[in-house]
Structure 1
Amino acid sequence: MKKKIKMLILGAAIVGILGGCSEADTVSENLSKSADSFQVQRRVVFFNGITDKYLLTVEGLCALDTDSAKKLTVTCKIGKDKYKKHYLGLSDNVSYFVEQTDAKYEDAYHYKVLFRPETIIPDVDLQTSSKTQHEE
Structure 2
Amino acid sequence: MKRKVLALLLSVSTMFAFSGCSEASKVSHNLSLEADNFNDVLQVTVINCLQGDVLFQMTGKMSITADTSDNQLEVVVEDEKGEYKKHFIGLSDNVTYVVEDITAGDVSKNKYTLNFNPEMWIPVETDVID
TM-score relative to the length of structure 1: 0.62
Does 2:70 correspond to 1:91?
no
What's the offset of the Cα at 1:85? 1.1
For structure 1, list consecutive stretches of 5 or more residues without a partner in the other structure. 1-7, 104-136
Does 2:83 correspond to 1:79?
no
Q: Deviations over 1:30-52 (max 9, x none)?
A: 11001000000110000011111
State the identity %.
Answer: 38
Name the amino acid aligned to 1:52: G
Equivalence for 1:125:
none
Q: Deviations over 1:46-104 (max 9, x none)?
A: 0011111001111000110112251110111002431121111100000101011124x
Distance 1:76 1:15 in 2: 38
What's the offset of the Cα at 1:16? 5.0
4+ residue runs of structure 1 moved beyond 4 angstroms? none
Give the number of equivalent residue pairs: 97
Aligned positions of 1:20-99 closer than 5 A: 20-68=20-68, 70-99=71-100
* Helix, strand or coil at the partner of 1:35: helix
Q: CA RMSD in A?
A: 2.4
* Helix, strand or coil at the partner of 1:99: strand
Distance 2:18 2:25 in 1: 11
Distance 1:16 1:92 in 2: 43
For structure 2, list consecutive stretches of 5 or more residues without a partner in the other structure. 1-8, 105-130
